[in-house]
Structure 1
């Protein structure tokens, strides 16, 4: 049996590999004689190599197979009930310098300055480690773990979120309805992920306008974040796509309120509806903006009853930090390989649920707009620009007690080092004032200049 196997291997090698020692043989059908040269009446039999050469090549193959087996024996076997495991990672590392426009001139004995000086340091702005366990070609369970360390975090709360936590943990089932799949668990909320994958691709150094908070490096409205416990139905067709979900409402990293419905059972209804003017709605979120051309118009919104602040200590139905929130917005984006331009307008409202409980506002109204663009003048280089403008007006006991107006300019230059690594230099100039507060020349403490060097890594 071994000789037969080796002979078959030798035959395969003879037929597949041209050898310098190959010899062409000829036979005379009448006499049966074999010759090494062609002649009249002789028929070519084919190319042959010596048994010695066959043995040498067989031994070489056996040696390579042994080396391969030795190498594979050093790997650890991975066992799973899933059909396929897909591992990936996304990492944003940066150097940041944030300078406030003003310091607290009212600080005195026993008063701590609320406007700290320049903050500089290295940041791990996002460190995502992800695995998808596929049960078939479409259905899977996804877990994304995140570790973040930012100089802009609020020291009194998450202290830079140094601990690892689950950003996503959901089951995805494809086509539970026509053209529609569903995420169940800590899932995508309908808006943020869409904007970050179709219009504003630079979460590595600045959030989208609805998510940006007031920290040492950020200034904004802080209305919604990217993930929450709930269900999200996702529909995709060429001309239309949508996401409609029901969630707890506070987001995936709210310290005390995200998964706590103890004081109420009301949930948050959230949606995105998108028309794809040039088609390819089935590729939403997966377009290559350096190659594809697309034009999308979207409307999005949120109605969240019994919404709570991230750091709320739940106090039953009379908590001063419980309110109803609504958001409505319009967004458009156009992209072609040379450039991208996108813009949006939004309004939002917070309405305190317990007017008889002391707090800083009874109602809070938001409105704002944002526009961003990319220009790609030469291969691998991108010029980035963005402008945000917003207003937040508060009312307490029938009178306006705060009217904050803010805007920011963002500029950046990106270099695509490879398909896995990008480098970005950026600057942000944010200005925010309260028109109804005279102290400190109306400065809210949020005005600042921020400079960042960023490395994006994806694998």
Structure 2
């Protein structure tokens, strides 16, 4: 019996010991589970306590993996709860800020509404366009001579004042700062006109504008909105001396077929943005903006531009411009101009090719001694490419090229070789919008009979360039390196 008791006692003690051990392992398992719930699941499999529980037989590997799975799920729930609380707090802050901003905006609007803008300032725009030029090179002189050129020059000094009186009635006044031969700075009138904006005539004659006063002529303003480098020098027709860019009279212009949708995006420009083209016609005194009228003739000037494929090649345009009138002399010599231009505009490049012929010129001095106007002929090719080079976050650099050829006596009535060839090339860097600078080179080669001392000059010439008295002038070297900055706002 004692042995039986001893055996029984031993069994009881063994069970009690295992029970205590199981209880201890259960406690350890609970501690481990709580630990697993607080750590990332990826680290739980490496926990030594979990490995001990598996080794002691308290947890099977499958149970350990279930513990990991439950811990991971609980962790995700906890993270979602935290994210929800964070988002709720963020939204609360955003709502509070929005409420404060709305309150401030309403106060600003109320104060703005209380401020009355003077009637004279409503619809008023004021801006400046100026060219600051530095040139280094040589100016041609007779008999293969030349003078050195090292000069700062103010090529333009516009003060643009524009006023909208009503939606259909506008006014523009633009004086131009210029320097005369004595070196004195003077304010010369460039534009001063009233602009009427009549309603469309059907769907084809649209966006019409009529200028009365000292206003734009049909051609040059159009060309200068395709070739942006007027700052470098005048366009080919003006450089040759055929005409200048403004005159006193009346004109009307408009689009054909409404506006080209997204013209700026498709062509790089929203000027003269008619869907099928544009047109302009006017009657003027004929003397230009810086010469008095010397006869009673009123030249008619006109331009028609067609955009034949607005949906497929929106940048392609074909233009014709003409003038019919008399030169600005008392004896009123013929002044007739024919010009054709093919142009293509794209946000990344511009190409133009033009040819022109004129009988006489605006000044009326391209004539024989008997006052019969001479026929002239010329052409000009221009290109501009935006370079794929990023500077300060934008593609600012452009490379441009232009060549002109002009013959002042096409039929060789008085001068066998009164011609020139001009080359212009350079780089442009856009600083901000239309504020940019160019670095370029210009070279001109003259025929032996081209009769204008000092050549074509920066702004062209209106002087006699073909005459028996200047044949054999043999102008010397005409070239310059040039840096120009354009101010525009």
TM-score, normalization by structure 1: 0.65
- Listed one character per residue, the Cα deviations across residues 375-408 of structure 1 (whole Å, up to 9, x for unaligned) are 1122110001001011111889xx5345412111
The answer to whether the 8 A contact 1:352-1:361 is kept is: no
Deviates more, 1:175-184 or 1:126-135: 175-184
Q: Any idea what SS the aligned residue of 2:414 has?
A: strand
- Structure 1 pair 233–442 and aligned structure 2 pair: CA distance change class (3 A): same
In the TM superposition, what are the counterparts of 1:158-307 in structure 2 within 5 Å?
159=182, 162-175=185-198, 178=201, 179=206, 180-198=208-226, 200-212=227-239, 221-237=240-256, 238-254=275-291, 257=292, 260=293, 264-279=295-310, 294-305=315-326, 307=327
1:414 aligns to what? 428
1:364 and 2:398 matched: no
- Listed one character per residue, the Cα deviations across residues 128-171 of structure 1 (whole Å, up to 9, x for unaligned) are 1111110223531001111034xxx7x3xxx4672111111111
How much has 1:279 moved relative to structure 2? 3.1
In the TM superposition, what are the counterparts of 1:60-79 in structure 2 within 5 Å?
79=118
How much has 1:205 moved relative to structure 2? 1.1
1:94 and 2:133 matched: yes
1:130 and 2:160 matched: yes
- Structure 1 pair 431–365 and aligned structure 2 pair: CA distance change class (3 A): same
Alignment match of 2:406 (pick from 386, 390, 412)? 390
Query: Could you tell me how far apart the structure 2 residues matched to 1:326 and 1:453 are?
Result: 36
Query: Could you tell me how far apart the structure 1 residues matched to 2:122 and 2:363 are?
Result: 49
Report the structure, 1 or 2, having the larger helix content: 2
Q: Any idea what SS the aligned residue of 2:230 has?
A: coil
- Listed one character per residue, the Cα deviations across residues 234-277 of structure 1 (whole Å, up to 9, x for unaligned) are 021221310000000111012xx2xx35xx42201000000013
Q: Any idea what SS the aligned residue of 1:363 has?
A: coil
Query: Could you tell me how far apart the structure 1 residues matched to 2:306 and 2:245 are?
Result: 21
- Structure 1 pair 225–450 and aligned structure 2 pair: CA distance change class (3 A): same
- Structure 1 pair 409–85 and aligned structure 2 pair: CA distance change class (3 A): same
Deviates more, 1:161-170 or 1:379-388: 161-170
The answer to whether the 8 A contact 2:140-2:147 is kept is: no
Alignment match of 2:172 (pick from 133, 142, 158)? 142
Query: Could you tell me how far apart the structure 2 residues matched to 1:271 and 1:405 are?
Result: 27
Query: Could you tell me how far apart the structure 1 residues matched to 2:358 and 2:151 are?
Result: 34
Query: Could you tell me how far apart the structure 1 residues matched to 2:308 and 2:354 are?
Result: 17
Report the structure, 1 or 2, having the larger strand content: 1
In angstroms, what is the RMSD of aligned CA positions? 3.9
1:375 and 2:382 matched: no
The answer to whether the 8 A contact 2:368-2:374 is kept is: no
Query: Could you tell me how far apart the structure 2 residues matched to 1:126 and 1:143 are?
Result: 15
The answer to whether the 8 A contact 2:135-2:480 is kept is: yes
The answer to whether the 8 A contact 1:361-1:395 is kept is: no
How much has 1:294 moved relative to structure 2? 1.2
- Structure 1 pair 253–352 and aligned structure 2 pair: CA distance change class (3 A): closer
- Listed one character per residue, the Cα deviations across residues 396-443 of structure 1 (whole Å, up to 9, x for unaligned) are 9xx534541211110010001122520110111101113599999945
The answer to whether the 8 A contact 2:382-2:401 is kept is: yes
Query: Could you tell me how far apart the structure 1 residues matched to 2:324 and 2:487 are?
Result: 35
Query: Where does structure 1 lack aligned partners over 5 or more consecutive residues?
Result: 1-47, 49-56, 106-114, 213-220, 281-291, 310-316
